[in-house]
Structure 1
Amino acid sequence: MSKINRLFILLFTCIWIAGCSPSTSEQESSKPNQPLSEEKMSGSSNIQVKFTQEGEHPEAAIIQLINEATSTLDIAIYSINYDPIVEAVVKAAERGVKVRMITDLSHAEEKAKQKKVLELVNNAGIPIKVNTHDGKMHLKMMIADGNKVETGSFNYLKSSIEENDDVAVFIEDESVGEQFQQAFNKMWDDSVRFSEYK
């Protein structure tokens, strides 16, 4: 079984467990400002699931993850224009975190708000790459410090917070973090399918 298949099985298992196991930790996971390291499931993994339509505020947990990053922050996001997340990313770079971003070229070129955000991010010294292949760069994922991952369906948009049915999954796990980091690095280093955004 490939690493990607194992990862998707892990994610869907986590979502099922979070949705079907009423417990005290479930109630605690809805607190947006709770440190990500306080909730522990089996083993050394820490998993949280935040649904927009359940009032669980994934954006607050995403900002917290960015604010807690100390060394690296790698972001592959299809769509981004939510100011508080953008500001947190820029501040992370300002405090010395090595930040990299990959996004979708067509979205960057066609959406004025996204274009403005990418200009701001680029001006902060954060390198950005976009896809040059025919398909979309449709990922929504963030890796902080190599072992903390955020992924799911949640784009970093106001509409994702206020209108959409979306989910963000937060995983703190060395092996899962390594898989996501390898996937990000492979895209970043692929000069055929990705290029620098200017």
Structure 2
Amino acid sequence: MSIFERCSISSEPRLRRPRRTACLTTLLLHLVLFAALVPLRASATVDVYYAPEDQPIDRVAALYDRATTYIYASVYGLTAPAVVKSLVEAKRRGVDVRVITDRERLTDPKQQRALNTLRLAGVPVRINRHDGLMHMKQAVIDDRINTSGSANYTTSGNRYNDERLDVITDAAVTTKARRKFLSMWNDQARFEDWSE
């Protein structure tokens, strides 16, 4: 007999109220159990920005300005003054800021200046020591947001090149991106601390 059959209203008035209360309680219990067993997942949002018209690197800097816990950035090119400033200020606010970049970019004087500024502010920087490029353009912010796309954190990547930046707000995707960053960060065989 289904719950609906058991909960049908009795023709006897003295049984109507207790049976109705018991049935509603049972139904409510089933709904609560169902809700507890079925994970609710808010839908992800993806905001897409294009360079040069949307100036995506300025958007990255704005995200960094709102960070409260951590910023983990893995980016091939890092010279944009707005991004460097936002990372330094985040570090001063007590945010855990870490950067991974590519060793081949160290020949660029602008990249060296940017990395020196970060290092002097106490931001640890690691570089790849493996044969391939560290070619990611990704940031993970506060277990809430991660960014990805083609744009390096450079003036060219913001104002001149045709580039794309995706800002993804999704806990599961962001957790995966954080795990990847920390895996790279802790991989002593493939990455090392940068010092001038």
TM-score by length of structure 1 reads: 0.76
Q: Which residue of 1 aligns with 2:37?
A: none
Aligned partner of 2:126: which letter?
K
The equivalent residue for 1:194 is: 191
Report % sequence identity: 31
The equivalent of 1:178 in structure 2 is 175
CA distance in 2, matches of 1:178, 1:43: 15
User: How far does the alpha carbon of each residue in 1:23-62 deviate from its partner, in whole angstroms, 9 at most, with x for none?
Assistant: xxxxxxxxxxxxxxxxxxx943121000114x12212221
Contact preservation (8 Å) 2:137, 2:150: yes
Q: How many residues matched?
A: 155
Following superposition, the deviation at residue 134 of structure 1 comes to 0.5
Root-mean-square deviation (Å): 1.2
Which residue in the other structure is 1:73 paired with?
Answer: 71
Aligned partners of 1:146 and 1:184: how far apart in 2?
12
Is the aligned partner of 1:169 residue 2:127?
A: no
CA distance in 2, matches of 1:146, 1:197: 26
SS in 1 for 2:178: helix
Tell me, in whole angstroms, the C-alpha distance in 1 between the residues paired with 2:115 and 2:63. Answer: 20
Please name the residue that 2:102 is paired with. Answer: 104
AA matched with 1:113: K
Q: For 2:168, what is the secondary structure of its paired residue?
A: strand
Checking the alignment, whether the CA contact within 8 Å between 2:55 and 2:159 is kept in structure 1 is no
**Of residues 97, 111, 120 in structure 2, which corresponds to 1:123?**
120
Q: What's the offset of the Cα at 1:178?
A: 0.7
**TM-score by structure 2 length?**
0.77
Distance 2:48 2:127 in 1: 28
1:89 corresponds in structure 2 to 87
* Correspondence for 1:143 among 115, 140, 144: 140
Question: Greater Rg, structure 1 or structure 2?
Answer: 2
Q: Which runs of 5+ in 1 are unaligned?
A: 1-41
Report runs of 4+ in structure 1 exceeding 4 Å deviation: none
Deviations 1:93-151 (A, max 9, x none): 0011000000001112x111101110110010010100000011000000000221011
